[in-house]
Amino acid sequence: MDDGGGLGREMHDLIRTLYPICRSITGNGVRTSLEIIGRAIPLKWTEVPSGTDVFDWRVPREWNIRDAYVKNSRGERVIDFRACNLHVLNYSTPVKRSMSIAELRDHLFAIPEHPSWIPYRTSYYTDAWGFCVTQQQLDALTEESYEVCIDSTLSEGSLTYAECCLPGMTTEEVLVSCHVCHPSLCNDNLSGISVAVFLARHLLSRERRLSYRFLFIPGTIGAIAWLALNRKEALSISHGLVLTCVGDGGAFHYKKSRRGNTEVDRAVAHVLRVRGAAHEILEFSPYGYDERQFCSPGFNLPVGCLMRSMWGQFPEYHTSADDLEFVTPKALQESFETCRAVLDVLEGNHTYQRSDPYCEPALGRRGLYRSSGRQPGVENLARLWVLNLADGAHSLLDIAERSGLSFSAIYEAAAELARHGLLVDHAPVPNARH
């Protein structure tokens, strides 16, 4: 694993490959993207036919688009889907006719305060068509007739999602979920896809106590479809993260699960604190990404959402400015490392018990106490904390939190003490739920 920057570059390269594709909640854009992802990690695809009822929702007709433009009277494409797929209102119904500037204007969307940016707009469940343009394009339109073409289809097909499942020694499962329905937008959410792909790749070659499930799904309807088709599997989710907006240089924001104090909530908070970078821990709220579905009251899963800059809080959000420059290899790598550290906590969070719980053991005799002046040193302290709290009721994360030391220091101390027979591992038996 290259931690020196090369990995961030690889992650950015994956984003670059996925960037031009026009994705939506259904259609070939998602399929092409999943094919690319499938070159890096093993994927299991699912196609959910249009019209399938998934809880309160129905899978919509499949949307595909080949071309779209607005031509002026001289035949010039003044708005051109080939230049940027954001130009088309996502899920636009087909159009092919001439119309006045007045009629056209009702179908154009721009951002006056950012005159060179194209907004990102969708209309999944209401039949509509439109174009998203820069304010400059809008201002340049003249009083004339325009030829408007959206060469799209809405037809029976399916919604596509894919999973990468990595079994571990236990069926206790970690869910990592990211949405794959956004077209040329990098932070929201090619960044999440890329970090998820590289986390899965990292885990592929590793011994895993926990099982892992990486979901690459269209937002909202995809998550709802997956939950509808996997109600039993959902019960195995012991920890989960929704990854989104993890490629920009902003401070980390972690939104806690609905339960608010689950192991993943505590693990992320611990890792962010120990890493020392600016971050904020947010209470759960029912607005955001697919944690909304995972944390709906019928499921109430321990799933939080990791972000850097938060949706709606950075001006580039849902505009063409959320581009390949907005996400950086450095930020991607930091996000990857943060997630990996969180997974390390979840993997290593055993609960030990002293083999003999009375008094401190004689550490000096075993070479386990390093004399170092008047203060005990982190290594000694970590051992003393573990020995004091290894009563079968405190996990290593509990001990890290109470001691103020890092999980890794506590984990190493416990491993060393266990090697000396001073601790008995109370890790969950494979296949038992905890």
Q: Residue numbers of the site for its own copies (CB under 8 A)? A: 55-57, 125-126, 220, 223-224, 227-228, 231, 258, 285-287, 292-293, 295-300, 312, 317-318, 354, 356-362, 364-365, 374-376, 380-381, 384-385, 387-391, 403
Both tokens assigned to 314: 């950075």
User: Least distance (Å) from its own copies to the CB of residue 391?
Assistant: 4
- In the structure encoding, which two tokens stand for residue 224, read together? 């709802």
Nearest distance from residue 364's CB to its own copies, in Å? 5
Closest distance of CB 264 from its own copies, Å: 18
Nearer to its own copies, 56 or 325 (CB): 56
Minimum distance from CB of 400 to its own copies (Å)? 14
Between the alpha carbon of residue 346 and those of residues 270, 277, 385, the distances in Å are 11, 21, 20
Which two three-digit tokens encode residue 411? Answer: 């984990």
Nearest-approach distance from CB 258 to its own copies, in angstroms: 7
Cβ distance to its own copies smaller for residue 203 or 422:
422
Residue number with CB closer to its own copies (104 or 221): 221
Burial 219-247 (b: 16+ CB within 10 A, else e): bbbbbbbbbbebeebbebbbbbbbbbbbb
Shortest spacing between CB 251 and its own copies, in angstroms = 20
Instruction: Compute the distance between CA of residue 209 and CA of residue 348 in angstroms, rounded to an integer.
Output: 8
Nearest CB to its own copies, comparing residues 381 and 415: 381
Least separation, in Å, of the C-beta of 346 and its own copies? Answer: 25
- Work out how close the CB of 381 gets to its own copies at its nearest, in angstroms, rounded to a whole number: 6
Residue with Cβ nearer its own copies (82 or 231): 231
Least distance between its own copies and beta carbon 140 (Å): 25
Q: Which is nearer to its own copies, 301 or 343 (CB)?
A: 301
The Cα 370–Cα 366 span in angstroms is 10
